[in-house]
Structure 1
Amino acid sequence: MPTPSSPKFLRKTAAAARASFAIAGTLLLAGCSQINFWQMDGHQTSMVTAGPVAESQLQVFYTTVWVTAIIFVVVASVLAYATIKFKARDQDDENAPPPPQSHGNPLIELSLIGVSVLALVFIAFPTLRAIWFTYDVPEEERENAYVIDATGYQWWFKFDYPQEQIDGVGTLSVANEMVIPAGRPVRINLRTVDVIHSFWVPKLAGKVDMTPNRGNHMWLQADEPGYFWGQCAEYCGDSHAVMRFRVIALSEEDFADWVARTKQPARTVTAATADPARAEKPRVQFASFKRNEYGFSDKWDPRSKVSPLDNWRQQQFPVANEDAALIAQGRKLFQTKTCIACHTVRGHEGMGITGPELTHVGSQTTIAAGLLENTAEQLARWIMHPELVKPGNKMYTTGYIPSEITVNQEEALALVAYLQSLK
């Protein structure tokens, strides 16, 4: 049996290594043929940036990749050269005694140490610069920075706008869709009311934790108006994977209009504002869904020509042919089903703080913390079976179960009509 230092053993080891590389290369190429490369421009890719913070972090990544790629090429080239030059080519080479052994060349070893230190320096400088840059809004921009307080719950996000006060009510507050002014730095104060969460909008900024009993912050900026995907990046319970949110960046004028609209109390639909002759019920298909099944249509596909930002803008307008009587019925059910105990609808009923504020929920593009598209069908699904959409959520565990709340299809239609009217 050949010993580990014998030429025969080394030859077999090299052959096994070459076979392994060949198999790995074949599998890699086979896998690449199945990859949809457009996914590099997906909703939550960090390879496509839309703001200075994400761009700074991406440049650090590229620097690290180039340095490590050069190291890989050098090491792999030396390995390939040694493997090819000194491999046993015939029986005589296999039986030949091993060449003289030594402990290496001090000059080469010191050079390798120096090159390694230099490589670390090349990585360290842009890394430190990015850490200082991304920590907080640059000093010259701080006076122009817009401030938002983001709070993590299991499993949704609350966004408060301390610079936008509502007389007699308090601070402007929305859930799961954070609207920001484009082209302007936004400082986000990060808080949590329960466990550790992590705030992440890949195209705008990296991950920053929301830690209990400890204030944290970050900043980001969208260079242009756009619609961006985000989510919690820290395991925080059963439905961590479906704790998502959106960031909508608007021009300064559009942002000011949105603030003015959102400050208004809830919209009330009456027979005077809706045409009874044209009223119709929400079109809902009560289908069966899988547990945790997402609820987005193909228009959210990045390959689609439909712009998510344009869809958000369309969502701000009331739906056609509203049924005032059905909406009034839904508003009444919103009280009797004790939704008002957890949710607030300014101008209507409810002063709850456990769940998201719903004053303008009809104007949002998503529900259930960014998991479902805000359509009549998905809204009815969320109302009737919240535990199947987001297992362990408090709407079900602390609301539906203790109060023995159930919602049938007719009640769901009325509640959907009411909630969709809240523009």
Structure 2
Amino acid sequence: MHRVSKLSFPFRPALFLLAPMAIALLAACTPDNAQSTFGTAGPVAKDQADLFNFIFWIAAIVFILVEGAIIYIAIRYRRRSDSDKLPHQTHGNDRLEITWTIIPVLILAVIAVPTLTGIWEQQNGVPQDQGEVLNVEAIGHQWWFEFRYPNHEVVTSNELHIPVNRPVAFKLTSEDVIHSFWVPKIAGKVDMVPLNDNYMWMIGDEVGEYYGQCAEFCGIAHAHMRFRVIVDTEEDFQAWINGMHTAPDAPVAGSPEASGKNLFAANCSSCHTVDSTAPGSYAREITSQQARWNGWISDIENSGIVSAPNLTHFGTHSTIGAGLKDLNQATLEQWITNPESIKIGTRMQKHAAVYDTADGNAKLSPAEVSDIATYLLSLKPGSAPAGAVADAGGDVDGEDLFVSNCASCHSTGDDTVVGPGLAGIGDRAGSRVAGQDATMYLKESLTDPGAFVVDGFPAVMPEWGHLGVDSIEALVDYLKTLK
């Protein structure tokens, strides 16, 4: 008989690989790992971790007892001779069979009670005795997260701000496919399902920055669909909310920021909003996102517009690419030039006209890319009140006004966002209403939007008379230049 005394050669390297793999797995369990569920920072995550530990130790005890019994029986009743005589055969033991049925049932009951209690508490409303509840709507997109604060009329993307020690109630949904919302150190995952709302709540009890992640496979960039949760002090959170309603300072004429603003308006504003600071902008952004989605889903292959992150005060963000890299001038220029170099699968690169090139890079010079990046990094709360238009150099710039107030709903070309594209509007406006020239028609459209609603479009345009006479005239003059 051939007897194998040593492990055959192919298995030896595997043994050497097991050690570093085991070390890597153990290292992932350290509380210092940003996406580890150990080292919790909220009561929901702590309760879930306690439940996991409770079940783990029950499972460990059962494993030791069962494996110990198997080893004992294997040794105690091993074959001791070459005799073929059968030992005494037992054909059943009712008492033993009842025992090993009842014990697992009791163990499962012990596990089920805290599990079902935890599920019930998580799904039946946020506790009302732990401070004022903050309501947040989280929407999953391929492959980024949108966050809306309906009570504060704030919308942002990929970075979620919440106050410390206050309950946050989430309404979770998805625009496209099934995603899942998960902040390992604060709360466990809940699915985000299209056309269906799920609910969860959490409390962050330590100020700091935490990692979030989509936890449901959702396509090619699933692993790169991340976000940040910033747990602020109450004062910092209120300052952030106030800042999101404060318009950025207008760029100085002739500066890289001013150039970048114009380039952004021409190439990016059909999909990205940067001006959700003024009254009414929250509702417009929701309408705009829905219109972008409808436009994309109606012609997926040819659409030049997609749902995209809101970039209001983007300069205050800490990351880019849904949490993939630190935000700075270099990474932002890399992202604008070639998003796929940071994150695969971006719809921006596939659909935006500025990327319609052989190599997929943006049709922009390095200087133009730099100006756009500089402009985006300058988007921070300014000194002017929300809705005010800063005066750069003493003259009102119609193009600046358009970018700040109109670009989230109207393109300067033929693309439809929420409202119609405005290419050639100066020529068309003069023939719309008998007795009115283009200037009169455009002024009335801005100050009384309900007077002229284009067929096929919703009557959602706000009234812009608060901009003032000079600003309205500058905006009309700019619109008449669009060809």
Same fold (TM over 0.5): yes
Question: What SS does the aligned partner of 2:60 have?
Answer: helix
User: Is 1:411 equivalent to 2:368 in the alignment?
Assistant: yes
Equivalence for 1:54: 45
Which of 143, 155, 158 is the equivalent residue of 1:176? 158
Equivalence for 1:94: 82
Aligned residue identity for 1:51:
G
CA distance in 2, matches of 1:28, 1:36: 12
CA deviations 1:240-279 (Å, max 9, x no partner) are 21111111001111111111112111333437xxxxxxxx
Equivalence for 2:103: 115
Distance 1:74 1:236, change over 3 A: same
User: Is 1:40 equivalent to 2:30 in the alignment?
Assistant: yes
Identity %: 38
CA deviations 1:286-305 (Å, max 9, x no partner) are xxxxxxxxxxxxxxxxxxxx
Question: What SS does the aligned partner of 1:335 have?
Answer: helix
Question: What SS does the aligned partner of 2:129 have?
Answer: helix
Distance 1:234 1:409, change over 3 A: same
User: Is 1:211 equivalent to 2:164 in the alignment?
Assistant: no
Question: What SS does the aligned partner of 2:309 have?
Answer: coil
Equivalence for 1:226: 208
Distance 1:28 1:121, change over 3 A: farther
Q: Is the 8 A contact 1:232 1:243 kept in 2?
A: yes
TM-score (norm 1): 0.75
Distance 1:209 1:410, change over 3 A: same
Q: How does 1:304-319 map to 2 (within 5 A)?
A: none
Cα drift, residue 26 of structure 1: 8.3
User: Is 1:161 equivalent to 2:149 in the alignment?
Assistant: yes
Equivalence for 1:245: 227
CA distance in 1, matches of 2:60, 2:126: 32
Q: Is the 8 A contact 2:207 2:232 kept in 1?
A: yes
Equivalence for 2:54: 63
Question: What SS does the aligned partner of 1:63 have?
Answer: helix
Spell out structure 1 runs of 4+ moving beyond 4 A: 22-30, 33-36, 347-352, 401-405
Distance 1:68 1:252, change over 3 A: same
CA distance in 2, matches of 1:24, 1:253: 55
Q: How does 1:296-335 map to 2 (within 5 A)?
A: 325-335=255-265
Distance 1:410 1:402, change over 3 A: closer
Cα drift, residue 37 of structure 1: 2.5
Q: How does 1:231-310 map to 2 (within 5 A)?
A: 231-270=213-252
CA distance in 2, matches of 1:345, 1:109: 69
CA deviations 1:7-60 (Å, max 9, x no partner) are xxxxx9xx99xxxxx999987556435556365221111122111111111122
TM-score (norm 2): 0.66
CA distance in 2, matches of 1:376, 1:36: 36
Question: What SS does the aligned partner of 1:49 have?
Answer: coil
Q: Is the 8 A contact 1:200 1:231 kept in 2?
A: yes
Q: Is the 8 A contact 2:130 2:166 kept in 1?
A: no
Equivalence for 1:311: none
Equivalence for 1:74: 65
Q: Is the 8 A contact 1:180 1:186 kept in 2?
A: yes
Equivalence for 1:314: none
Equivalence for 1:366: 319
User: Is 1:345 equivalent to 2:327 in the alignment?
Assistant: no
Distance 1:31 1:231, change over 3 A: closer
Which of 176, 179, 199 is the equivalent residue of 1:197? 179
Aligned residue identity for 2:161:
V
Q: Is the 8 A contact 2:41 2:186 kept in 1?
A: yes
Aligned residue identity for 1:178:
L
CA deviations 1:375-414 (Å, max 9, x no partner) are 1111111100013333332211221468665223221111
Equivalence for 2:341: 388
Cα drift, residue 77 of structure 1: 1.0
Distance 1:184 1:370, change over 3 A: same
Cα drift, residue 335 of structure 1: 1.8
Question: What SS does the aligned partner of 2:73 have?
Answer: helix
CA distance in 1, matches of 2:142, 2:85: 68
* Residues paired across the two proteins, number: 347
Distance 1:24 1:413, change over 3 A: closer
Distance 1:411 1:248, change over 3 A: same
Q: Is the 8 A contact 1:383 1:407 kept in 2?
A: no
Equivalence for 2:115: 127
CA distance in 2, matches of 1:35, 1:237: 25
CA distance in 2, matches of 1:377, 1:23: 43
Cα drift, residue 144 of structure 1: 2.1
CA distance in 1, matches of 2:68, 2:23: 27
Aligned residue identity for 1:367:
I
CA RMSD of aligned residues (A): 3.1
Q: Is the 8 A contact 1:141 1:185 kept in 2?
A: no
CA deviations 1:129-177 (Å, max 9, x no partner) are 111122144443387211011111111111111111xxxxxx2111100
Q: Is the 8 A contact 1:266 1:359 kept in 2?
A: no
Aligned residue identity for 2:197:
G
Q: Is the 8 A contact 1:136 1:219 kept in 2?
A: no
CA distance in 2, matches of 1:214, 1:163: 21
Question: What SS does the aligned partner of 2:114 have?
Answer: helix
